[in-house]
């Protein structure tokens, strides 16, 4: 134990207080500032919930999107297959043998006497002559194409497959085709 108490100088007794003051612990401004506020706590907790909820919603949306993407990818695959299939058919329909056979079937014959006209004079400049030696056009096809076995020819009396009867699609002139350029060619004089 120290003997500090004895060493302390005596002080004068304070004058007696007439009105004893009510003493209270008061927080300093700094302390008040440091005190946690309820509103912050509430905000934090609430925003946590908001974040959780948002995350949940987002993941629902994302996974839903994934299914949508997956189904669209599936659809795209199917459509590409269909496109390939149609391209394959188109290439076959565009084959020389099919066109020749159809042309013959529809009553078309190769030009019997192709001529080259001299546009200055209107005279025949060249006549290479018919090169359809057997004279049967596309009906006597000698160049094999096994893919065409069983492929039906176009029927002149019914609309082509794909266009419903009664539609006028085939009678509308194709607007995209440029008009035949004839203006540059002087017409031969005829009498």
Partner 1 sequence: MKTKRSRARISVAVLVIFAIVAVFTVRLIDIQIVQADELNAQSLSKRSQESVVYGRRGDIVDADGAVLASSVDRYDINVSPRIALARQDVNGSASEALAKIAEVTGQDPAVLLAELMADPDADWANISKGVTLEVFQAVKTLDIPWVYYDVRPSRTYPNGAVGGNLTGFLGTDGPGGGLELSEDTCLASTKGTVTYEKAEDGTGLPGSLVTTKAAQDGGTLRLTINRDLQFYVQQRMAQTYADLGAEWTTAVVMRISDGHLMAVADYPSVDPNNVDGVPNTALGSRAFSWAYEPGSTMKALAAASLLDSGVATQTSTVTAPGQLFLSDGGFIKDSFAHDDMPWTLTGAIVNSSNTGMSLFSKLLSAQTRYDYMIKFGLNSETEVGFIGESEGVVHPADEWDERTNFAVQFGQGMSVTSVQLASIYQTLGNGGVRMPVTLVEGCEMPDGTVTDLPPTDGTQVISDAAATQTVEMLEKVVTEGGASRDLTIPGYRVAAKSGTAEVADSSGGYGDSAVISFAGLAPADNPQYAVVVTAGIPNSMYSSGSIATTFHDVMAQTLTTFRVTPSTEAAPDIPLTW
Cβ-based neighbours of 148, under 8 Å, separated by 6 or more: 92, 95, 97, 98, 101
- Give the shortest CB-187-to-partner 1 separation in angstroms: 19
Tokens of 137: 């056009």
> 110-129: buried (b, 16+ CB within 10 Å) or exposed (e) per residue?
eeeeeeeeeeeeeeeeeeee
Please give the DSSP secondary-structure letter assigned to residue 163. S
Binding piece for partner 1, criterion CB under 8 A, among 5-13, 53-61, 68-76, 167-175 = 68-76
* Euclidean distance between CA atoms 74 and 71, whole angstroms: 5
N-term to C-term CA, the chain = 150
Note whether 45 and 52 are within 8 A (CB): no
Tokens of 154: 């176009």
Nearer of residues 114 and 122 to partner 1, judged by Cβ: 114
Query: Under the criterion CB under 8 A, does residue 185 sit at the interface with partner 1?
Result: no
Nearer of residues 87 and 163 to partner 1, judged by Cβ: 87
- Residues numbered 110 to 129 that lie near partner 1 (CB under 8 A) are 114, 116, 124-129
Strand 116-117, strand 124-126: pairing: antiparallel
- Residues numbered 69 to 88 that lie near partner 1 (CB under 8 A) are 69-71, 81-82, 84-85, 87-88
Nearer of residues 27 and 126 to partner 1, judged by Cβ: 126
Number of residues that bind partner 1 (CB under 8 A): 38
Half-sphere exposure of 132 (CA within 13 A, CB side): 16
Nearer of residues 113 and 171 to partner 1, judged by Cβ: 113
Binding piece for partner 1, criterion CB under 8 A, among 23-31, 32-40, 90-98, 155-163 = 90-98
- Give the shortest CB-98-to-partner 1 separation in angstroms: 9
Query: Under the criterion CB under 8 A, does residue 102 sit at the interface with partner 1?
Result: no
Site residues for partner 1 per CB under 8 A: 63, 66-67, 69-71, 81-82, 84-85, 87-88, 91-92, 94-97, 100, 114, 116, 124-129, 131, 133-134, 141-148
């Amino acid at each position: 134990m120290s003997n500090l108490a004895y060493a302390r100088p005596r002080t004068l007794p304070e004058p007696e207080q007439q009105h004893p003051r009510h003493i209270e612990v008061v927080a300093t401004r700094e302390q008040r500032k440091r005190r946690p506020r309820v509103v912050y706590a509430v905000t934090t907790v609430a925003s946590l919930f908001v974040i959780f909820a948002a995350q949940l919603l987002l993941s629902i949306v994302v996974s839903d999107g994934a299914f949508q993407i997956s189904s669209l990818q599936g659809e795209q695959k199917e459509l590409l297959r269909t496109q390939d299939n149609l391209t394959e058919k188109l290439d076959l329909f565009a084959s020389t043998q099919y066109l020749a056979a159809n042309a013959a079937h529809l009553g078309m014959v190769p030009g019997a006497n192709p001529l080259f006209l001299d546009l200055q004079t209107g005279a025949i400049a060249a006549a290479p002559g018919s090169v359809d030696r057997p004279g049967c056009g596309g009906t006597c096809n000698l160049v094999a194409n096994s893919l065409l076995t069983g492929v039906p020819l176009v029927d002149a009396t019914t609309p082509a497959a794909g266009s419903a009867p009664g539609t006028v699609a085939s009678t509308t002139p194709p607007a995209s085709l440029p008009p035949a350029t004839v203006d540059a060619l002087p017409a031969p004089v005829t009498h």
